[in-house]
Structure 1
Amino acid sequence: MKKQISKWLTILIPLCIGISIIYYQYTTLKPDEILKIKNSFQKANYSYILLSLVIACIGYWSRAYRWKFALNHLGYQTKFYNNFFTVSVSYLVNLTVPRSGEISRAALLKKYEDVPFDKAFGTIVAERIVDLLIFLLFVLIGFVSQFDAIYQFLLSKNVSLQYLIYYGIATVIMGVIFLLIWIYAEWPIILKLKKKLSGLIEGMMTVLKMKTKWKYLFHSFFIWVSYLSMFYVAIFALPETAEISFDIIIMGFIFGSLAVGFSNGGLGAYPFSIALIFSLYGISNDIGIAFGWLVWTSQTILAILLGLISYVLLPVLNSNK
């Protein structure tokens, strides 16, 4: 019973968050802004959206290709189409429960390639660690390059430098306290977390021990470059966003990526975050919302179509087993 409740909550809570954001965003829009958003969808150049989707497919391919290096390191030779299709299905599953696609991905590989679930899942965990580190690099570059703009925005919201210093000191103190608890505490929850963290570190070390680690790392960076590229290409779909600078693009990309984890596939949260970031640079709210929905809708449709096609083709292409 508890498992069923927990399962439904993991689906419903992100969904409710996404719907709440959509409701808030819609109710705060003026009639003329809603009309402008509709006009933006009508006049958009969808050839750039299509190009963005092609780049996204290349990212899917690279993620599937990168996976083979980790699997080969463990001694498993898998068919590339099975890697690609399971990756595609995982994107579809992530639209229901955030990050649940990793579990389905490992389960499908177990079913069609007989790779043990725990080993397949371990390679996926290692991927996520590498992806997180690369994303943090993007975040660092973005925030350093946009420090002045962020600082001016905080000042406009009456957030003083003194407050930020106090907040920073408090964060450091809390970090030291957590570190001391982590090192010396014998609480069951801490011991459990340590055990899980050791598994993550072990998965990360697997990447460093690969003979093909440089190819693996190349594809890891290539995947994120493809993500950024598909976002960049999409700006040309609207005349109002076609001339924005790369600084704005990278900040929109960062916050859009963060928003995906707040609801089912970024439902509501993605367009909201894009509009918020774009507004810091003088781009009107209606244009930011329209652009956010264009990108989110197109990428979601791609994930659904590729996921469904892959789910159908997996048993067909593996029917001889």
Structure 2
Amino acid sequence: MKKKIGRLLSIILPLLLGVFLVIYTYTSFTAQQIEVISGYFKNADYNYIYISLFIGLTGFIARAYRWKYTLEHLGYHSPFLVNFFAVSICYFMNMTIPRSGEVSRALVLKNYRDVPFDKGFGTIISERVVDLFILIACILGTILLQFDTLKNYISTKVPFEKLLFYGLIAGIVFIGSILFYIYSNAKWLKKLKIKISGLTEGVLSVFKMRKKWPFLLLSLYIWVCYVLMFYVTIFALQETAHISFGVVAVSFVIGSLAITFSNSGFGVFPVAISAVLSLYGVAAEAGTAFGWIVWASQIGLIIFLGSASFLLLPLLYRNK
């Protein structure tokens, strides 16, 4: 019963947060500001959006092609189309129930290629772990790239004494957490250690693959596609066309985190992007419009590919 309630809350709470942010953002603007935002939507150069979506499509293709390497490492073969449909369905399902896409992706492989669920799911987890490490690298790279700007912003908003105090507290908590992790024998911590060791094993298994370098290069290409998708869309609006790549990097990282920790970024993504762009002098109206354009175009691509995959998969593989 508790698990069902937890799962239900994991679905409802992100949606409620998204709805709240949409309503809050709408009511925080005046009628004149809303009219200005509507004008941004009407006057945007959607050719750049189409280019962005094409780049995103190649990212889907690369993710589907990359999957064959982890499957072959376990001795299984799956046609590219099945992999592509499964990946598209994965993204589509994650829009409804967080993290359900990975399960759906493994089920597609089980039903259409007779790959055991645990084996297929294991390959997906190993991919996700690699993606997580690349995201962490993006975050660290962005911090270094925009260190001066972030430092100046924090110093103007938070007094040095408070910053020092918070830094000491964070350091103590960090060191205490490491010591607790190493020496504690709590049951829940043992389970956490098992999960972490499993993630580590998943990452290390990638380096044991016979074709690890094509896998890693495709992983990098997928994330390059993510960044390029975001970068290209800045030219859709004149108000965002001038921002530097450093600003794009910060916005991309914050947007990625918003998507990761919410229901596909619904309501959260546009607010987060607008907040970041406001630090660099972009008006709230333009930042909000830009955030919604980026989010809506990417979600539109996911809905189109996911719906088409649900339709075409059983038609092309009727024998399964």
TM range (shorter): over 0.9
Distance 1:232 1:133 in 2: 21
Equivalence for 2:312: 313
Percent pairwise identity: 48
Cα offset, 1:309, TM superposition: 0.7
Equivalence for 2:26: 26
Residues 53 and 298 in structure 1, CA contact (< 8 A), matched pair in contact too: yes
Give 1:229's aligned amino acid.
L
Deviations 1:254-303 (A, max 9, x none): 11111112321100100001100000000000000000000100111111
SS in 1 for 2:318: coil
Deviations 1:43-84 (A, max 9, x none): 011111111111110000111111111111010011111111
SS in 2 for 1:210: coil
Equivalence for 1:67: 67
Residues 87 and 105 in structure 1, CA contact (< 8 A), matched pair in contact too: yes
Cα offset, 1:313, TM superposition: 1.2
Q: Note if 1:194 corresponds to 2:185.
A: no
Q: What TM-score does the superposition give when structure 2 sets the normalisation length?
A: 0.96
Give 2:68's aligned amino acid.
K
Give 2:217's aligned amino acid.
F
Give 1:220's aligned amino acid.
S
Give 2:248's aligned amino acid.
I
Q: Note if 1:249 corresponds to 2:234.
A: no
Distance 2:161 2:227 in 1: 35
Cα offset, 1:172, TM superposition: 2.1
SS in 1 for 2:29: coil
Q: What TM-score does the superposition give when structure 1 sets the normalisation length?
A: 0.96
* 5+ long unaligned stretches in structure 1: none
Give 2:211's aligned amino acid.
T
Residues 59 and 226 in structure 1, CA contact (< 8 A), matched pair in contact too: yes
Cα offset, 1:132, TM superposition: 1.2
Distance 1:115 1:162 in 2: 58
Q: Note if 1:43 corresponds to 2:43.
A: yes
Give 1:162's aligned amino acid.
E
Distance 1:6 1:314 in 2: 32
Give 1:88's aligned amino acid.
S
Equivalence for 1:127: 127
**Structure 1 ranges of 4+ moved more than 3 A:** 1-4
Equivalence for 1:118: 118
Residues 68 and 78 in structure 1, CA contact (< 8 A), matched pair in contact too: yes
Deviations 1:101-123 (A, max 9, x none): 11111111111111111111111
SS in 1 for 2:260: coil
* 5+ long unaligned stretches in structure 2: none
Equivalence for 1:212: 211
Equivalence for 1:101: 101
Cα offset, 1:3, TM superposition: 4.0
Which is further off, 175-184 or 236-245?
A: 175-184
Residues 262 and 269 in structure 1, CA contact (< 8 A), matched pair in contact too: no
SS in 2 for 1:119: helix
Residues 56 and 230 in structure 1, CA contact (< 8 A), matched pair in contact too: yes
SS in 2 for 1:299: helix
Give 2:194's aligned amino acid.
K
Equivalence for 1:178: 177
SS in 1 for 2:264: helix
Equivalence for 1:150: 150
Residue correspondences, number: 320
Equivalence for 1:276: 275
Equivalence for 2:17: 17
Distance 1:152 1:201 in 2: 36
Deviations 1:11-68 (A, max 9, x none): 1111001111111111111222211110000001111111111111000011111111
Distance 1:140 1:203 in 2: 22
Q: State the superposition RMSD in angstroms.
A: 1.3
Distance 2:151 2:176 in 1: 28
Residues 64 and 83 in structure 1, CA contact (< 8 A), matched pair in contact too: yes
